[in-house]
Structure 1
Amino acid sequence: MNKWLTILLCIGLPLAVGGVSAYVTIQNVQSWYPGLVKPFFNPPNTVFGPVWTVLYILMGISFYLVLRKPSSEKKKHAIILFLIQLLLNFWWSILFFRFHLTGIALVDIVLLWLFIILMIRRFYQVSGKAANLQWPYLAWVSFASVLNASVWYLNH
């Protein structure tokens, strides 16, 4: 496949996942979420979109770097871990914003955090550059996990 088309598809996949989950949850982000008690460190809503967009782009570039490596069991496992964490990422927004299941969303985001770590570890075995592109994602999900736990605690 054409290199540039592959790059676009790799970046497009996480952007599409984020776009679909945002579309499904946007109404509740605007109507339900503002009514919750939030911790003092809750950033303004305008921060989330740009941060997630950058993170999804980094995910896609990282995925491309892994895909272009020669076939191996490590590469196969890296791809599987990437897809699992992307699925957990997708469901978090829906659980939290669409269904208001902040406790179940907390379980999901903790699993997401663990799978990001597993993915980074496996990515290092395939492409160090791909792994290093994931550190901002892990940092943001770490912050989001604390935020999710705080929102659950303050509103439970």
Structure 2
Amino acid sequence: MNVIASRSQLRASFFRWGLFTVPLIVLLGFVAGQLGSPNTLWFQSLVKPDIYPPPAAFGIVWSILYVMIGIALALVCSSWGARGRGIAIGLFALHFIFNLAWTPVFFGNQNIEGGLIVLAIVVVTLLAVIAAFWRVRRLAALLLLPYLAWASFATLLNYEFLQANPDGGQDVPNNSVQRIQL
């Protein structure tokens, strides 16, 4: 039996998916952000590149991007029966694992070079996701373009950090002690 969904059914499906994907993507981004922090002595001691934006910009930009990513994913997830839908969702899941891995690699492991490698993978897989989303829902692919721009900027910024700190910031003494008085 072939049944075509009405516009209201399609909108309802998108809305339901959006209620799931947007909070999920924002939550995962927040959790990954807790696995490392720019508030460490290591990061504070790094030479900051000239293109380093104000720290508050990162939270604002990522919050907006995560909402847009969640909406794009909802558009694809709600496209039942669309050719390539499953592949697009699978590619996105693989890509997003790399996105979430950057913070623990860069900040958690204090690995600038590793962070650059992760970001290069993020950009390459994001291009594949955009192509896959384009085949399912063009609007979903277009919603990911600001994310691609930011991920590309983040890759450049990470590269600039590596150039400005060729030793990886490892000259910070590891035996430093932080005293907390109660």
Normalised by the length of structure 1, the TM-score is 0.93
Contact 1:59–1:134 (8 Å) recurs in 2: yes
Contact 2:48–2:164 (8 Å) recurs in 1: yes
Contact 1:14–1:86 (8 Å) recurs in 2: no
CA separation in 1, counterparts of 2:103 and 2:83?
31
Does residue 13 of the first structure (1) align with residue 17 of the second (2)?
A: no
Quote the residue 2:39 is aligned against.
Answer: 30
Quote the residue 2:163 is aligned against.
Answer: 153
Quote the residue 1:137 is aligned against.
Answer: 147
Consecutive unaligned residues in structure 1, runs of 5 or more: none
Q: Name the one with the larger helix percent.
A: 1
Quote the residue 1:125 is aligned against.
Answer: 135
Consecutive unaligned residues in structure 2, runs of 5 or more: 1-11, 167-182
Work out which of the two has the higher radius of gyration on C-alpha atoms and give 1 or 2.
2
Identity of aligned residues (%): 31
Deviations 1:72-100 (A, max 9, x none): 55111100111111100100111001111
Q: How many corresponding residue pairs?
A: 153
CA separation in 2, counterparts of 1:93 and 1:152?
15
> Which region of structure 1 is more displaced relative to structure 2, 140-149 or 34-43?
34-43
Which residues of 2 match residues 45-124 of structure 1 at below 5 A? 45-72=55-82, 74-124=84-134
Per the TM alignment, residue 23 of structure 1 is displaced from its structure 2 partner at its CA by: 1.4
Letter in 2 for 1:93: T
Contact 2:17–2:77 (8 Å) recurs in 1: no
> Which region of structure 1 is more displaced relative to structure 2, 12-21 or 91-100?
12-21
Aligned-residue CA RMSD in angstroms? 1.3
